[in-house]
């Protein structure tokens, strides 16, 4: 799993409160967002109530998306070589 490393000192905290553009302002990648969701969900910061139509919980959905994204990026890198 990728460790999330964001330097919040670059952005004043008052801009982070209720910021609709926080993803863009922090320049978060899709992998970083998936990692944040996974951490929040598995550490109990979100209730275990989010499931998809296949009865997979959010952590399983995010894990699948995470590894799909990693595979896509590896494929793109291999094509560029």
- Position 15 scores a pLDDT of 55
pTM: 0.60
**Structure tokens that stand for 50 in this block:** 């989010």
Cα-flanking dihedrals φ and ψ of residue 57, to 5°? -75, 165
pLDDT in tens, 18-69: 678 888 888 999 889 988 888 888 888 877 777 888 888 888 888 899 999 9
Residue 67 half-sphere exposure toward CB, CA atoms < 13 A: 5
Render 22-62 in DSSP notation, one character per residue: HHHHTT--HHHHHHHHHHHHHTTSS-TT-B-TT--BHHHHH
CA dihedral 9, 30, 37, 32 (to 10 degrees): -40
């Amino acid at each position: 799993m990728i460790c999330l490393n964001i330097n919040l000192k670059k952005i004043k905290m008052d801009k982070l409160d209720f910021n609709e553009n926080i993803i863009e302002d922090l320049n978060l990648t899709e992998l970083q967002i998936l990692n944040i969701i996974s951490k929040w969900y598995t550490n109990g910061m979100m209730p275990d109530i989010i499931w998809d139509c296949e009865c997979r919980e959010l952590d399983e959905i995010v894990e699948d998306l995470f590894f799909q994204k990693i595979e896509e990026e590896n494929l793109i890198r291999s094509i560029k070589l």
